[in-house]
Amino acid sequence: MNILVTGGAGYIGSHTVVELLKNGHNTIIVDDLSNAKEEVIERIEHITGKRPYFYKIDCADKAALDAVFEKHSVDAVIHFAGYKAVGESVKKPLQYYRNNIDSTLSLVEVMEKYQCTKLVFSSSATVYGPNNPYPYKEDMPAIQSTNPYGWTKVMIERILTDYTTAHPEFSVILLRYFNPIGAHESGLLGDDPNGIPNNLMPYIGKVAAGQLDHLTIFGNDYDTPDGTCQRDYLHVVDLAIGHLKAIEYAENHTGVEAINLGTGTGISVQDLVNAFESANNLKLSYVIGPRRDGDLPAFWADATKAKNLLGWKAVHTLEDMCKSSWNFAKNFQ
Ligand code: UD1
C-alpha cells in the first residue's frame, strides 16, 4: 500500500515508517519538523535501505497536503502529527486545540476529496480520564481527560467517529497508546524531544548521560505497592508493529475501532529506575519530590482486543526497553 504518515519523522512515527518499509509498503512522510529532525529520514534509509518520500509541511496546511495527495496515490493514512507535551498544553491551550484539531480536519477533508478511506489515528490512554477503573478496556467511557493535550485526543476521537457515521465506507482505527519508551536496536532512532524532557524515560536518559543533574520521582506516597505511580510501559518497536497490523486490518474494515496498545502490566517509577540501572549497569541520581499535578496513581491496559483483532501482542521486555533507550540516549544527547 501507499501509506501517508503525518508526523512520520517523530519518535513513534519514525519507528512505524521503518516497520512499514520493512513490510513492503511505500511511505510518504509529512512532517513540519516542529519536534523532529530531518536527519531522521537518512537514518530510516540507513536502517531499511529504502528512502521514504518526505514533505516538510504543516499538516494543517490544506493546500500543501492536497498537493501531496495529487502527486501520490494514497491508499491509507497514519496520523501522528500533533503537539504532545501535557504541561505545555496547560499553558498554551489555544495552540494545542488549533494545531491538533485543525491538522486532523484538514487531513480528513483532503482524504475525502481523494476518496482515501483508511485512517489510523494516534490516540492515547489519556482518553479514559480519571474515573475509570484499571485495567482500561476499550468499551469504558473514553470521554474525559485531565489536560488540553488529552482533550484534543478525546475531541479528535469524537470528530472521527461522527465523520465515520456520516461516511460508513470510512475506516478509522483509534489506537490508544499507553506509555511508549525504548528505541530502535540500531541506536539511530529514539525519543529526542526538544528542550528539557517532560516524560520519564527521556529525562532518565539525560540524567544518565550527565546532561541533567538528577531525576525527581514525582511522589512516593501513592496507594501503590511501592508508593510511586504505575504505568504500562511498552517498547516503541512493539507499538510501531501495532500500527502496521492496524493499517493492514483497516484494508478490509469499515467503521470505527478503538484499540489499546499496551502490555497489560503496571510498572512503577521506582521499578523503572531500578530496571534501567541494572540493565545498563549504572547508577542514576534521583530524589523523591512532591506529586505532579494531574498524575493518576496507576493505570494499565487490558490488551486483549489488540490480540484478538490484530493478532498483536507486545513482546519486548522491560530490560529491552531500558537497554535500547540508553543505547540511543548515549549516542544522541
Ligand atoms: C503522559 C500523558 C499521556 C501521554 C504520555 C506520553 C496524560 C495524563 N498523560 O503520560 O497521555 O501519552 O505522557 O507523552 O495526559 N515521572 C517522574 N519524574 C519525571 C517524569 C515523570 O517521576 O521527571 C513519573 C510521572 O509521575 C508518571 C510517570 O513518571 O508517574 C510517567 O510520566 P510521563 O512519562 O510523563 O507519562 P504520563 O504522565 O504517564
Q: What is the pLDDT of residues 278-299, one digit of tens each?
A: 999 999 999 999 999 889 999 9
**Helix or strand holding residue 171 (H, E):** strand 171-177
229 touches ligand 1 (CB under 6 Å): yes
* The three grid cell numbers given for residue 259, joined into one nine-digit string: 484499540
286 touches ligand 1 (CB under 6 Å): no
- For residue 332, pLDDT over 80 is answered with no
> Nearest CA to 65 among 14, 23, 29, 25?
29
Give the count of alpha carbons within 13 A of 141, CB side only. 8
The owner of cell 500533533 is 82
Q: Examine the residue annotation and report whether 149 is marked as an active-site residue of this protein.
A: yes
Atom of ligand 1 nearest to the CA of 228: 30
The C-alpha atoms of residue 295 and residue 293 are separated, in whole angstroms, by 6
Amino acid at 48: T
- Whole-prediction pTM: 0.97
Residue minimizing CA distance to atom 6 of ligand 1 = 179
* The three grid cell numbers given for residue 28, joined into one nine-digit string: 510518504
CA angle at 291 for the pair 286 and 297, rounded to the nearest 5°: 105
Residue minimizing CA distance to atom 3 of ligand 1 = 126
Pocket test for ligand 1, best of 147, 286, 295, 300 (most atoms within 8 A of CB): 295
**Model confidence over 175-200: pLDDT tens digits?**
999 999 999 999 999 998 888 999 99
Atom of ligand 1 nearest to the CA of 289: 22
